[in-house]
Structure 1
Amino acid sequence: MQSASTEKSSLLSQPKAVWAVGFACIIAFMGIGLVDPILPAIAEKMNASHSQVTLLFTSYNLVMAIAMLITGVVSSRLGIKGTLLCGILIIAVFAALGGASNSIWSLVELRGGWGLGNALFVATALSAIVSLSTAGTAQAIILYEAAIGLGISVGPLLGGELGSISWRGPFYGVSVLMIIAFISLSIMMPKTQQVTKAKTSLLDPFRALKFRGLSTLGITALLYNFGFFTLLAYSPFVMHLNERGLGYVFLGWGLLLAITSVFVAPKLEKRFGTIASMCAMLTLFALTLFAMGIWTSSKAVIIISVIIAGAFLGNNNTLITTAVMQAAPVERSTASAAYSFLRFLGGAIAPWFAGKLAEWFNPHVPFLVGGAFVLVSVLFVLLNRKHLQHIDRAGSAH
């Protein structure tokens, strides 16, 4: 009982810099959810196909994946604060330009610029919170995932409200929120904090992938992100709801993601181990996608499945992020960059592929294919489990 209370107090007793980064994370991840409820509206206003609109996720994730490879180089030279502020400023500028855009192709290009800013921010924020936290790696990751969950859950609600006025509203909304994050981080975060003491090389993330544990988790994330971004980018088109309705659905999704990532995932890890829990969550997520693929024409099934999927993804996000931090004997920022490079490659291909599958076949196929990719990710983990045994041992020791 005493250790439990100590754990809770250590989770909340953090340096001011950790809370500053956490607050900025909440606002940064609002950007994902803010845009989601307006995808059908963008398709209608710009006379674009579903696969063209899903390119907003593809360009964003592709640039983010590639940019992840330079985050270590940038952060080791600019420092933690400089890199975070640079990323936030880039997001603010490109989001505002996106709101002023008049064609789907310019919007796709501007989302790519947004992805560059997000890469600098996301990779640095994770390593920053872990490095600056006084509560240990596991507790720091819970804080990071909680911030992501809050941002993702509140974002759709705000996006739905702003989107009901105009599809441009959420883009301008992100820009304003990023300016607020920029100001708060400038004031609250010390100038002296550094992510790493030594300057890093562009080759460091590739060298890190030589460790089989890290590369296994990266490829696993690449595969299951086919399912994740199929749900995120394509499900709005089959729910047939207005912007406000989509906002509330993804609010429910994000709330479950946030709650499970903070409160449920640590208990699963302690009870069953990191890898077994991760496989279980991914299997349940795959089954949810299969249900969406079978009953695509049922609005109720799609809405309930999207919300429930938030629980499985919230658990998995915390479990796999914790595993990545323990997967290889390299700098945390380097491990995060290498893992995120592979993860976002899956996120880049999946949205466009889902839209195309629906055009080539029918609306059921994207969810069935997404579910199949998630199941393959589970099989891949099981086949390479010997390279992940040290992660479970580290969790048991903790």
Structure 2
Amino acid sequence: MIPPRTHFFLPLPPDNFRSLNLLPFEGDPPSHLDNRTWALCRDQSTFGTTDVPRLGSTVGSSTISGGALGLRDRIRATGLPRTTWVLSAAGFLVAIGFGVVIPVLTPFARTFEANAFQLGLVVSMFAAMRAVMSPFAARIGRGIGERNAITIGMLIVAASTVATALAPSLAAMIVLRSLGGIGSAMFTISAINMLLASAPEDLRGRASGLYQGGFLLGSMGGPALGGLLGAISYRAPFYFYAVMLVVTAVFVAFMLPARAPVLHAHSREPRRFSEVLRDVRYQAACVAALGQGWQSFGVRNALIPILVTEMLLLDTAWTGVAFAVAAAAQTAMLGAAGTWTDRLGRKPILIAAGVICGLSTIAMPFAPNIWLLILVLCVYGVGAAFQGTAPTAAVADATDGRGGVPVAVFSMITDIGAIAGPLIAGAIIDATNFGTGFLVGGLILLLGAAYALLIPKSLDLSFRKERGSADVDAERQAEGAGD
């Protein structure tokens, strides 16, 4: 007799297969299934293809555990589709290049004698072009296919990045870099639409976490390399970023499907944007996105390098180290953030994200040395891990995973934060001090946490209805036993 929790999938009657949460799968039997069980899976498949139980699936007294699987089978048994993994890998490649530019972007602008407000323009004009392009990016993705939109968008940013490196003046640098926002909007919005369309309802938090993790893993090494390259030449990191964008464009052109897939749950009519806009989950996600754009993509990228070089009087390499360590802390929390977002709901994670990010933002300019600044950035990174999963999952819930205009508006609000943040914070810092400039961003993040309190618990957990409470309880027990 096989004891409980042994790592086998036992042959079961047809009704048991219909009750399981299974993953569509084709090919040879994975390492944890024998030929007889594999044949039974194929015969009883509810999808018409070969199915493999997800990790944590409980069948009678047996549970499928990751310890019984090879790497390839473990990836498939997560339940996340191939599209999610490809998009995450693409995000990793892009983030390496983008991370290389971060430590030198504002110091490069300083070579043109830019003040704090003008430094904000360097960051904000790129985001402004993204915001202007966002409504059109969703239509372009639907018209030419998400894969083509992602590929073309990356090539546009690559061309803009090379032109920025060759800019002869501050005005030229701002204009040429802002043009890259056109391509950035195309590939980010199309990628998010494809991600939300491909991820099952009960795995949206984990899919968002994996996608964010791809960016963060790249961000860990990028800033450190950028600091080293910046010590040689401020222009070299821009060339490196352009090369990474071209490589990634070729990768997605061969690896992604032409268009976003359609899940079985999408057979119902899509919600109108006016209806989505009234959804408190969408509203809370947008407030969180404003704070994230303001601080994560705006103020932090624009002003932390200046804080390091001009307040702490350190080399640009330390900026790269600080960002890399903070990205490592954020990456370490992404797995838990995605799982908790799916198990606990979006609301508690949105609240935790706003509180952690808000308080750590307020503390950043008061760090007396680089070590305490790195510590505060790491705390912010923990909150940012939650901030990168829960809002995206909430938008997917509110739109039934359809994406489209609501995703474009969600992205636009993030860009508005990235536009306004550096400009307003830079102007405040010029007039007062760093502490006051960072305070505004911290308060916006805390406002996002407060707004999330308005989400009713029943609505917050509505994404579980497709699965049923019994399946959710079984998964929670299985995951809890494995922790």
Q: TM-score interval w.r.t. the shorter chain?
A: 0.7 to 0.9
TM-score (norm: length of structure 1): 0.87
- Give 1:379 shift: 2.0
Question: Would you say the 8 A contact 1:215–1:339 is kept in 2?
Answer: no
1:227 equivalenced with 2:295 (yes/no): yes
3-state SS of the aligned residue for 1:385?
coil
**Structure 2 CA distance for partners of 1:297 and 1:213, relative to 1, 3 Å:** same
Match in the other structure for 1:201: none
Which amino acid counterpart does residue 354 of structure 2 have in structure 1?
L
Distance in 2, Cα, partners of 1:344 & 1:59 = 10
**Structure 2 residue aligned with 1:157, among 224, 247, 259?**
224
Task: Please name the residue that 1:167 is paired with.
Answer: 234
Q: Structure 1 CA distance, aligned partners of 2:239 and 2:413?
A: 30
For residues 99 and 253 of structure 2, the distance between their equivalents in structure 1, rounded to whole angstroms, comes to 25
Give yes or no for the alignment of 1:310 onto 2:381.
yes
**CA RMSD across the alignment:** 2.8
* Paired position in structure 1 for 2:419: 348
* Higher normalized helix content (fraction of residues): 1
State the match for 2:32 in structure 1: none
Cα distance in 2 for partners of 1:6, 1:133 equals 21
SS at match of 2:398: coil
Alignment match of 1:80 (pick from 142, 146, 149):
146
Kindly provide the CA deviation profile for residues 177-200 of structure 1, in whole angstroms up to 9, marking residues without a partner as x: 11111222233334x434689xxx
TM-superposed deviation, 1:252:
0.9
**1:216 and 2:284 aligned:** yes
Partners of 1:277 and 1:287 in 2: CA distance: 16
Q: 2:461 aligns to what SS in structure 1?
A: helix
Cα distance between partner residues in 1 of 2:118 and 2:98: 17
CA 50–43 in structure 1, closer or farther in 2 if over 3 Å, else same: farther
> How many residues are aligned here?
388
**Higher RCO (C-alpha 8 Å, min separation 6):** 1
Paired residue for 2:308, among 233, 239, 248? Answer: 239
Contact kept, 8 Å, 2:208 with 2:338, in 1: the verdict is no
Does the CA-based 8 Å contact 1:209-1:215 persist in structure 2? Answer: yes
> Please, which moves more after superposition, 150-159 or 343-352?
150-159
Does residue 255 (structure 1) correspond to residue 324 (structure 2)? The answer is no
Tell me if structure 2 keeps the 8 A contact 1:64–1:118.
yes
Distance 1:127 1:385, change over 3 A: same
**How far apart are 1:316 and its partner, in Å?**
1.8
Provide Cα deviations, 1:283-315, integer angstroms capped at 9, x if missing partner: 12211122224x254443323212321111012
2-structure distance, mates of 1:291, 1:376: 17
- Residue 13 of structure 1, CA deviation: 7.1
TM-score by length of 2: 0.73
In structure 2, the partner of 1:289 is: 361
Deviation, 1:97, is 0.5
Structure 2 residue 177 is matched with structure 1 residue 126? no
Secondary structure of the equivalent of 2:330?
helix
Unaligned 5+ segments in structure 1 are 198-203
- Deviation, 1:205, is 5.8
Aligned residues of 1:157 and 1:244 also touching (Cα < 8 A): yes
Q: Which has the larger radius of gyration?
A: 2
1:110 is matched by which residue type in structure 2?
L
Taking a change above 3 Å as real, the CA distance of residues 253 and 352 of structure 1, as seen in their structure-2 partners, is same
How far apart are the structure 2 equivalents of 1:137 and 1:45?
A: 44
In the alignment, is the contact (CA less than 8 A) between 2:80 and 2:199 conserved in 1? yes
Residue 118 of structure 1 deviates from its aligned partner by 1.0
Structure 2: which 5+ runs fail to align?
8-54, 57-63, 67-73, 264-271, 473-483
